[in-house]
Structure 1
Amino acid sequence: MDDFWVFGYGSLMWNPGFPFEKQINARIHGFRRALCVRSWVHRGTQQQPGLVMGLDRGGSCQGVAFKVAPEHWPQTLHYLRERELVTHVYLEKYLRLHLADGQTVTGLTYVIDRQHEQYAGAVTVEEAVSVVRSAVGQSGANAAYVQGTVEHLRSMGIRDLWLEKVVKGIERETLGGADRPSGAR
């Protein structure tokens, strides 16, 4: 394999953490971005899990493809496995990436393991807000992760209406709504 590509759909889009030669918008088919992973390390703890992105089956997902130089591939792969496979909630997959320039390439990405105990499945906006607004892990506040992802998606011209509703809910709760009785909202 001469070309090495990585597909980012969550924090990898705005915080890849590895050197790359090229960055380009890309889409994959058969998987969608979802806040479906209970985070026990980076954005929560086992006692108070957060929620982070996973690629769940169905639909399609716009994200970013990174081309990695062959000489950087071994350390990039090591770095990604250390970062993404901490609790083995993701499966390492090579999928077809449809690049914004019309090319189709094969790239490495991480897909949710639906059999893993950290798989949260489909959560409602309200459930996501409740979890995300108070969870904190080794990489920081869960709310900052979700807000950062939405901001980056917007900067790329990508709208994720469900995630945007979660961010609005977090902002509403942060602005004092959390102290009022639930019927007063």
Structure 2
Amino acid sequence: MAAEAPISTEDEFWLFGYGSLIWKPPPHFDRRIPGYVTGYDHRGTPEKPGRVVTLIERSFWETLSDPHPSASSDKIWGTAYRIQAAKVAEVKEYLDIREINGYTIHYTDFHPADASPMIKTLVYIGTPDNDQFMGPQDPDTLAEHIYRSEGPSGPNKDYLLSLEMALDSLSPESGDYHVKDLSNRLRKVSEATGSVSQGQKALDHELKKVHSTDEQEETEKRIL
């Protein structure tokens, strides 16, 4: 699908990573920078399907009725990855297979956490015609659903709590209100059931750098 050409210094290729891409980076990156983008929302999300976050255009989200309290910040925190020049085509092909179903490609300004100059990054944006797009949901009901759901990658609650931990680690101001609120609701569900499992704390994810798209695919089969 068509997309505007990126405006980037020295024709570098940068990717904005949100969700599990924060702790599961793409292959062949040589720089990783925490920071944020603006103009998007992250709350767009069949036997017990789990829930994950995706980015959607804020203008679309504002047309929906959201039962979750609104936060004032327009910043969506994540990480920018610079892909090695010789591997750009390979990584783009890999990401298209991984992300393109129900997503569209945008190029957007990324603001590094250290206030260094902006970077133009590629980002995959969720579209409402995606069959798995859930839209707004009652946060307590959603927390209970996440607590119960589990799939080949593991418990859905581990994904949420790991995302909370990953976002908190990016910058002193990077904690995400909606993710934290949902995580707190999840912890209450866990406490109410008397569970002392991983539902009460995030997995200790170590940033693992992989060196090929094949290796990345195997990593995704093994961990969240």
The normalised TM-score by structure 1 is: 0.81
Q: Distance in 1 between matches of 2:150 and 2:124?
A: 22
**Which structure carries more strand by proportion?**
1
| Contact map agreement 1:125 1:162 (CA 8 A) in 2 | no
For residues 98-133 of structure 1, what are the alpha-carbon distances to aligned partners after superposition, in whole Å with 9 as ceiling and x for unaligned?
Answer: 223432222111111022232111223212202211
Q: Distance in 2 between matches of 1:8 and 1:143?
A: 20
- Alignment of structure 1 residues 35-74 onto 2, 5 Å: 36-37=44-45, 46-58=46-58, 59-74=74-89
Q: Distance in 2 between matches of 1:163 and 1:29?
A: 17
- Alignment of structure 1 residues 1-185 onto 2, 5 Å: 2-34=11-43, 36-37=44-45, 46-58=46-58, 59-85=74-100, 88-100=101-113, 101-156=115-170, 157=172, 158-177=174-193
2:37 match: secondary structure: strand
Q: Distance in 1 between matches of 2:75 and 2:104?
A: 18
User: Residues 60, 32 of structure 1: CA spacing in aligned structure 2 closer, same or farther, 3 A cutoff?
Assistant: farther
2:128 match: secondary structure: coil
1:75 match: secondary structure: helix
Q: Distance in 1 between matches of 2:149 and 2:155?
A: 6
For structure 1, which runs of at least 5 residues remain unmatched after alignment?
Answer: 38-45, 180-185
Q: Distance in 2 between matches of 1:134 and 1:82?
A: 29
For residues 117-162 of structure 1, what are the alpha-carbon distances to aligned partners after superposition, in whole Å with 9 as ceiling and x for unaligned?
Answer: 3211122321220221112233222111111000011112311122
Q: Distance in 2 between matches of 1:160 and 1:32?
A: 11
1:51 match: secondary structure: coil
Q: CA deviation at 1:71?
A: 0.8
Q: Percent identity?
A: 24
Deviates more, 1:115-124 or 1:139-148: 115-124
Residue type of the alignment partner of 2:47: Q
The normalised TM-score by structure 2 is: 0.68
Q: Distance in 1 between matches of 2:31 and 2:77?
A: 17
> How many equivalent pairs are there?
168
For structure 2, which runs of at least 5 residues remain unmatched after alignment?
Answer: 1-7, 59-73, 196-224
Q: Distance in 2 between matches of 1:129 and 1:98?
A: 31
1:94 match: secondary structure: strand
Q: CA deviation at 1:69?
A: 1.1
